[in-house]
Amino acid sequence: MLYGVLWFGIYNVALNWSEQHVDAGTAAIIVSTAPILIAVIAGFSLKEGFPRPLLTGSAVAFVWPVLIGIGTSTQTLRAGLGTALCVVAAIGHALAVVTQKPLLGHASALVVTWLACLVGIVFCLPFAAQLIHQLGTAAPSSIWWTLYLGAFPTAVAFTTWGYALARSTAGRMGAMTYLVAPISVVLAWLILSETPPWLALVGGALCLGGVIFSRRRT
């Protein structure tokens, strides 16, 4: 129940809400602190320790979202409510991963994800009336894309994430999430013809190197 509330309730709601108040660059900088928080919290609570490759690699990988965030941000970090919500999202993300890790020793990734999604539904029930109202005016394409986001980036991705987390440490898996940004840049380049700036390519290379280094064993 705690994992479902933290991830599918607090994290997702806080992140979406924050991006109504701050730009994507600012959100990227703040939310990308989550893997570092995961490493620190897991180091203490899960007794994973603080391997030097993990801390060094995470620090190098963190350069990526900072570079991109600085380049795209149009607001300062004093953006009030939006900034606070980004911090809540980052903390919720970190605590959710650390909470999930022990659960995977007692149930499969599919079961844990399914139960957490059910908890998330209950947590988000206060938004049901607004959902029904907006479904009446939403474009069909928006509805279908929302269903796609729920089925694939959420259900499939979180299940495979749980499978991998059960076979690794929370700290190392947290560092792996830094790969999301460079993969997104490459996909946007290939599919949407969005040519990335040179800073994104340099940052992506640093990110990849940092993640690879963080996976090293001491």
Question: Within a domain: residue 137?
Answer: no
Residue 70's domain comprises 2-122+156-214
Question: Within a domain: residue 17?
Answer: yes
pLDDT score of 140: 92
Question: Within a domain: residue 201?
Answer: yes
With a cut of 50, list the residues of the chain below it in pLDDT: 77-78
Tell me how crowded residue 92 is: count the other CB atoms within 10 A of its CB: 23
Tell me how crowded residue 25 is: count the other CB atoms within 10 A of its CB: 17
Question: Within a domain: residue 131?
Answer: no
Question: Within a domain: residue 191?
Answer: yes
- Give the count of domains, the chain: 1
- Cα–Cα distance, 174 to 95 (Å, whole number): 11
Question: Within a domain: residue 99?
Answer: yes
Cβ-contact 211, 57 below 8 angstroms:
yes
To 5 degrees, how large is the angle CA 118–CA 174–CA 14? 50
pLDDT score of 77: 47
pLDDT score of 16: 85
User: Structure tokens of 13?
Assistant: 């709601």
Question: Within a domain: residue 57?
Answer: yes
pLDDT score of 125: 94
Q: What's 32's DSSP letter?
A: T
What pTM value is reported for the model?
0.76
Fill in the amino acid letter for 121.
I
pLDDT score of 84: 85
Dump the DSSP string for 88-112: HHHHHHHHHHHHHHHHTTTS-HHHH
Cβ-contact 169, 218 below 8 angstroms:
no
pLDDT in tens, 57-116: 666 656 666 666 555 555 554 457 887 888 899 889 989 999 999 999 999 999 999 999
